[in-house]
Structures are given as C-alpha cells and as structure tokens.
Chain A
Amino acid sequence: MPNIKTLAQREEKEVRFTPGHTLCAGCAEPMVVRTVLNAIEEPVVAASPTGCLEVATSRFPGTAWNVPWIHVAFENAGAVISGVEAAYRALTKTGVVKKRIRFVVFGGDGGTYDIGLQALSGALERGHDFLYVCVNNEAYMNTGVQRSSATPRCASATTSPVGDEIPGKPQDRKDLTEIVVGHHVPYVGQAAVSHLIDLANKVERAMKFDGPKFLNVLTTCPLGWRTPRDSAIVQSKLAVETRYWPLYEVIEGKYKINYKPKQHVPVEEWLKTQGRFRHLFRDPKGKERIAEFQAAVDRHWNDLLRKEQCLSGDGAEQG
C-alpha cells in the first residue's frame, strides 16, 4: 500500500498534475487529483466533465495535465471514458496499443450526481474498465455556488438561499455512493481529502479490479462552504469525525468501514464552522434543524454499520 514517501517518489519521477493551474486558494481538489494520479503506477488517461477542475486546469494554450486528458461536455464524462476505453480495447486487439493503460475520470458533484448521472450509470452497467472519482464539494462551485443533489440539507446556496420562508436547502443529499453500489461494480468507496493515505490505498485496491470502479471523495470549497482558506483539511476531518462523511468501501458487494471515530462528535461541530450553515445558529428553529440533521447522520451511520455486519467479507451474511 502506498505511503507518503512512495507517493512523493512517484511524483518526483513524473509530475502528472502540475502547479500553475488557476484553482482557488485553499481549494482541496488538486490534492485529490495528485493523490489519485500518484497512486496509480501504470500510464493514465484522464477525463473530466465541465466544472471547476476543468476550467481551472485547461485554459488554452496552457494546461496543468501532464497525462493525456480530455474534456468534452458537462454531462458525458462517463460516456467519453467509455469511448476512450473501447478504443483502447479495439486498438489492443489490433496490436496498435501494446502497453497497459488505466483510465480515470475526475468529475465534480454536479457533473456526477446530477447532469452526468445517466452517462455514469450507462458506463457502469456496460462494465468499462475505469475509475470514476467524484471530486465532491457539494454544490455547483464553478458557476457560483448553486445547489446540487450532493448539497446537504439546510445548506445555503445561491439557488437554495436562506429566505424568510425557506431557510437553505430543504432536501437531503442524494446517496450517490449507494446508487453506484446498486450497479454491482467490483469496487465502490468513499474517501475524504483529509485522509490522503486512505484515498491512495483505496485507489490502489480499486485498480486491482477490471471493470468500473467508483470513489466518492469529499473535498472542500472555501468559497462555497464559506470557510477560511487554510481550513480544507480541518473541515474534511470534521466531516469524517462527526460521521457525516463515513470512510468506507464496498468491494464486490462486501462492506467495510475504514475508520470508526472512537468518540461521538456531534455534527454541530462541523456545521458551526461553515458560513453556509450559519443561519442554523441564529434562527430560533435552528436547534430543531440541527437535531434533524444529527438524526439523519446517525441513521445513515447505523445503516452502514448494519450493512457492514450483514454484508462483510467474512461470511457473516450466512448467519
């Protein structure tokens, strides 16, 4: 399993994602991209749908990508990588391509949870050999912090603002990780930018499988979350410690929670550090809403514990 040293050595040998892009100060996305690319040993071809990452890394005539990379549109990264991978299979058959190449998509939550879900689902169902990494910062940050179906309940976004009538996003976020599990692909995982070695390990485990692999990686956005620029890791860590964002994986249908926080940290601790939830601490009804939020987090966590118990790799499901 890769450690910081091996990741650094690989980067020293070949810088796959270069500095000089125009992602915001404090953005967590480059850490995810670098870690994923460095965790893969073989040559990589990457694709991205439209989004922050795409716009900030590919401004013509410059580029931050030192691996072959393609962007086509917002809703089709799953289909684009299907085509690239199909070309690879065809050209391997005819002997034009001779080496092992791996395929990775880096998509935001808008291009993955929402507009790109159909193309992703199609690619998963058809069994293309690729890794899809959802760089999930929980809203449409590229277009100015509009809500997506990955935006948590109560969060203030420009299309789910805190109004006099409706305070923030009324709905829960979609559980995309579990939607992908429903596609019965060999590897599905959830990771966070605060736990980079866990992320690298997950990439390495995932890449052992042929077929579709999926990683939902919580990243932070100082602009959209309204947090200080130096808080990405703290924010992400709090999301994990409060069990808001469990680190787990589903390998061939078997659940494994990679990290179980030793003590119970209320989700309020995570919420109160972010401007997008500030209203919850001012509004008289805020306490009630925070309690509902906590209940949803607990329910999700307990469901996950049960899934791990019933669907673990050690044969427990037979009982």
Chain B
Amino acid sequence: MRKVMTGHKAVAEAMRQIEPDVVAVYPITPQSEIAEYYADYVHDGIVHTELVPVESEHSAMSACVGAAAAGARVMTATSSQGLALLVEVLYIAAGMRLPIVTALANRSLSAPINIHCDHSDAYLARDAGAFQVFCESAQEAYDYTLIAQRIAEHAKVRLPGIVNLDGFALTHTSQVVEPLEDAVAKKFVGAFQPVHPLLDTDRPVTWGPFAMPDYYFELKRAQQAAMEEIPAVFLEVQRAYAKTSGRAYGGFVDKYHLDDADRALVVLGSTAGTAKVAVDALRAKGERVGLLKVWLYRPFPYHEVAAALTHVKHVGVLDRAISFGAMGALYSDVATSLLRSATRPALHNYIYGLGGRDITAEQLEEVLTGLGKARPDEVLRYIGLRE
C-alpha cells in the first residue's frame, strides 16, 4: 500500500519490520527522528527490541559491537560529527565481521558547524570496511535498509553496512513510499544466525584479541576477501528483493539515458533525481545527455562504472564533499575505473552542494551543456559557489 512518508519514517518502518534485538542510538540532527520513531515502537511495545539510549555515538557503535558479538541483530543511525565519533568503532565492527547496519543521514562536518547535507561523513567512513549504499529517494532508503540487512548478514559477507540518505533532502521531505507487508519484509530479511556468540557460555570464545605482525596482515586480507564477496551477494539479494517487492534495481549503478549519450554526469544520492530532470530537459531539446547514479559506493563497482561510461565523450563527476588537497573521492574512483579502458571519456570534477547549498536542475543543465567545451584538466570546478 502506498503511503506518504519522510525518509526518516521510511527507514524507521524498515527497522520496525526487521525488528533488531538491540538498537543503540544517540541523537544528532538530521538523524534524530529515526531514533524517535524507534523509541515510540519500543515504548509502545510494538517491537521486542532493547533500545539502548547511549551517551554518545562512540558508545552507540560500541554497544552495537557488544550486542552483535553477543549474538543479537543490531542497528543504529547517525550523521556527521556522530559518524566521525563512532568511526573508530566502525573499523572494529568490520574487523570483527559484525553485520551492523547504520542509517547515515548525510550531513557536513565541522568547522564551521552546519547541520545540512553533504557527503563528508560518508567519505570519512569510506575505508572503514563497511559497505555503503546511496539512496535517491525515500523509497530507496526503505528498500535498501532491508536489502543492506540481508547483505550484511549473508554468510559470505558478515560485515557492517551503511545506508546513506541525504540529510533534509530525503530525511525531512515527504514522498510516496510503498512499503512491504510486515510479514513479507520479515520473511525477506529472515532469522538472524549469529556466529560464535558470546552468550553461548558453554563454548567460550575470545573476541577482539591482540594480533602481532605475525597474524595481523592475514586477518586484514581475510577481511578484504569478505568485501570482495559483496558484489555477487548484492546482485543476489537485489534479485530476491525484486521477486518479493516487484521493484528491480538491477545492479550496482543506475543508468539513465546513458546508452547513446555523449555527455553524462555521475552522482551519488538524491541529486540523481535533480539530474534526471536536467537530462530530460536537454533530451527534449535533442541533446544526447545521460546520467550514471552509483548505488553501491563501497565496494566500488569499477567494472560496471567503466562499462557504462567508455563510450561517453565527456563525463562530469559530481562530489558533494571536498577531499582536501586531492580530486574528489568519487572522481578518483571513476578515474580508476576507466584506467584500463581503451577508449575513455574526458573527465571533469565538480564539487557542489556543500553544507546544504542548493543544487538545481538548471545548474546541472548548465554543467551538462558546458561539458563538451571545458578542457578536462585536473582542476576542481565548483557549482553554485560565490567566488
């Protein structure tokens, strides 16, 4: 049944249906409403979840790690500085192979303090060992919360995951969402199968040991192997979700009018919606423009991005965060993807929308129109910046 709800509500609905054993969470704008909705479910007795209203995000992820190692299904949500505070423990969750799914309401990082959207926080967690998905809409935020849970808990993966949804743009705006029936969602996610739980006191296990140079390297290599399992599992779970929901996402990237395009944009998150409006407007004028939206950001789908872009002449990669002293993080990934292609587009990097600065379809039309004219040198260009 179709319902009007915010991105927050969509994520909270998915969490209610997953019904984790433990949710540990600390409030931060713009994430707080997820925790508030969930507290309502717990306090009204709708779910059996133990809510741990911790004193910091660091403790939120720490409690999640303790609970997951104990044998529980756990989730949390955060934003910005909160993610920065908990990222230390996110590395540990990944090193321990704990399937903890975090909803990340994307927001800029201080200083100066700013509560609005950009992807600085997601980029900060880039190398933690968690897989990351970016959502364009509240519907995707709902769907990918369910999908991410199943990927995280897959026997071959067992890693933490992050579901990114743009702060305010998705979290606080109302959209039409079609959630699954509770029973259908529960069946899709399935029962949680813990591995070596702490609470199995008859079979004591040491979690989080100390490893010297004689073992550390091999353990980290094993962690990378688990990350390498994700693409196949991602497709498998997407297919299962298509069967369950009728919504087929079809891969790691979303191609929009890309097959015959000579100019294209690459984006993450809700800006894809705005970019589609720009593409439609230029297509109406007969211009061959397109869009590549990346759903799976980590592990990065190098082959699929390359395959989607080799035939395009000019590509503008849009980063919603600065990787200070370097080209944009998404740009670098796209450039790496194309390294081995015989033919490859001229690449341009645009920084946009920091700290919630508006990005309009007109601005993106301008970028697409200008793509053929700009020289593709290694410089950052900025959209909507006063200089």
Point out residues on A near B: beta carbons under 8 Å.
43-45, 47, 54-55, 58-61, 63, 65-73, 75-76, 78-91, 93-94, 96-97, 99, 101, 118-119, 121-122, 125-126
Using Cβ atoms and an 8 Å threshold, which residues of chain B touch A83? 22, 24, 52, 62-68, 70, 74
Bound state CA distance, A58 and B198, in angstroms?
Answer: 15
B67 touches A69 (CB 8 A): no
Q: Which residues of B contact A101 (CB under 8 A)?
A: 199, 201
| Nearest A residue to B51, CB-CB | A86
Complex interface: chain B residues within 8 A of A63 (CB): 206, 209
**Distance in angstroms between the alpha carbons of A75 and B57 in the assembled complex:** 13
- Residues of chain B in range 15-37 having any CB-CB distance to chain A below 8 Å: 21-22, 24
| Residues of A close to B201: CB separation below 8 A | 43-45, 67-68, 99, 101
A86 touches B209 (CB 8 A): no
Q: A61-B215, A79-B66, A84-B70 are in contact. Are A68 and B205 (CB under 8 A)?
A: yes
> Most chain-A CB neighbours within 10 Å: which of B24, B67, B88, B206?
B206
- Choose one: B50, B59, B67, B212; the contact of A59 (CB below 8 Å): B212
- Assuming the contacts A69-B206, A79-B66, A83-B65, asked whether A91 and B92 have C-beta atoms less than 8 A apart, the reply is no
A254 to B49, CA, bound (A): 35
Give Cα A76 to B62, complex, Å.
Answer: 6
Q: How far is the CB of A217 from chain B (nearest CB, A)?
A: 22
> Which residues of the partner chain B approach A67 to less than 8 Å between Cβ atoms?
201, 204
Tell me which residues across on chain B come within 8 A of A97, comparing CB atoms: 71, 199
Docked CA distance A55–B210 (Å): 6
Q: Count how many pairs of residues, one from A and one from B, have CB atoms less than 8 Å apart in the complex.
A: 170
Interface membership of B200, Cβ < 8 A: yes
Bound form: Cα–Cα A78–B66 in Å: 10
* A88 surroundings in chain B (CB, below 8 A): 70, 199
CB distance from B320 to the nearest CB of A (A): 30
For the complex, give the distance between the alpha carbons of A76 and B85 in Å. Answer: 12
Chain B contact residues, CB within 8 Å of chain A = 21-22, 24, 48-50, 52-56, 58-60, 62-72, 74, 88-89, 92, 198-201, 204-212, 215, 219
A45-B201, A68-B207 given. 17 additional CB < 8 A pairs? A60-B210, A68-B198, A69-B205, A69-B207, A70-B66, A71-B209, A72-B92, A73-B62, A76-B58, A84-B199, A87-B72, A90-B21, A101-B199, A119-B59, A122-B55, A122-B56, A126-B53
Residue contact A118 to B71, C-beta cutoff 8 Å: no
Assess A70 versus B21: contact at CB under 8 Å? Given A61-B215, A82-B63. Answer: no
> Per a CB cutoff under 8 Å, which of B70, B205, B207, B209 touches A87?
B70
Of the candidates B24, B49, B209, the one having the most CB atoms from chain A within 10 angstroms of its own CB is B209
Partner of B62, one of A44, A54, A66, A79: A79
In whole angstroms, how far apart are the Cα atoms of A80 and B66 in the complex? 5
Q: Find the residue from B24, B56, B59, B211 having the highest chain A CB count within 10 A.
A: B59
Chain B residues contacting A84 (CB-CB under 8 Å) are 66-67, 69-70, 198-199
Closest Cβ of chain B to A138, distance in Å, is 23
Query: Which of A43, A76, A96, A122 has a CB less than 8 Å from the CB of B89?
Result: A76
> With a CB–CB cut-off of 8 A, which chain B residues contact A58?
206, 208-210
A257 to B207 alpha-carbon distance, docked (Å)? 38
Chain B residues closer than 8 Å to A81, beta-carbon distance: 66
Pick 8 A–B contacts, CB within 8 A, sort by A. A45-B199, A69-B198, A72-B92, A73-B62, A79-B62, A83-B62, A86-B52, A88-B199
| Contact between chains at B62 and A119 (CB < 8 Å) | yes
| B71 CB to nearest chain A CB (Å) | 6
**Which residues of A are found within 8 Å of B60, using beta-carbon distances?**
79
Q: Say whether B199 contacts A91, CB under 8 Å.
A: yes
State in angstroms the CA–CA spacing of A96 and B205 once bound together.
Answer: 18
Q: Across the interface, which residues of B come within 8 angstroms of A55, CB to CB?
A: 210
- Supposing A63-B206, A83-B64 touch, asked if A73 and B55 sit within 8 A by C-beta, the answer is no
The 4 closest A-B CB pairs, nearest first, are A83-B66, A83-B63, A122-B55, A79-B59
Complex CA distance for A78 and B65, rounded to whole angstroms: 12
Distance to closest chain B CB from A186 (angstroms): 20
Contact of A78 among B24, B59, B205 (CB under 8 A): B59
* A84–B67 alpha-carbon span in the complex (Å): 4
Q: How far, in angstroms, from A11 to B211 measured CA to CA in the complex?
A: 28
Assembly CA distance A156 to B185 (angstroms): 61
Tell me if B22 and A90 are in contact (CB < 8 A): yes
User: Which residues from chain B contact A72 at a C-beta distance below 8 Å?
Assistant: 62, 65-66, 89, 92, 208
Q: A60-B211, A101-B199 are in contact. Are A118 and B21 (CB under 8 A)?
A: no
**Complexed CA–CA distance, A60 and B49 (Å):** 34
Closest to A69 in B: B206
Closest B residue to A54 using CB positions = B210
Once bound together, how far apart are the Cα atoms of A81 and B65, in whole Å? 10
**Most chain B CB atoms below 10 A, which of A55, A81, A87:** A87
Q: Tell me whether A126 and B52 are in contact (CB under 8 A).
A: yes
Separation of A105 and B145 alpha carbons in the complex (Å): 33
Q: Are A86 and B71 in contact (CB under 8 A)?
A: no
A67 to B: closest C-beta gap in Å: 5
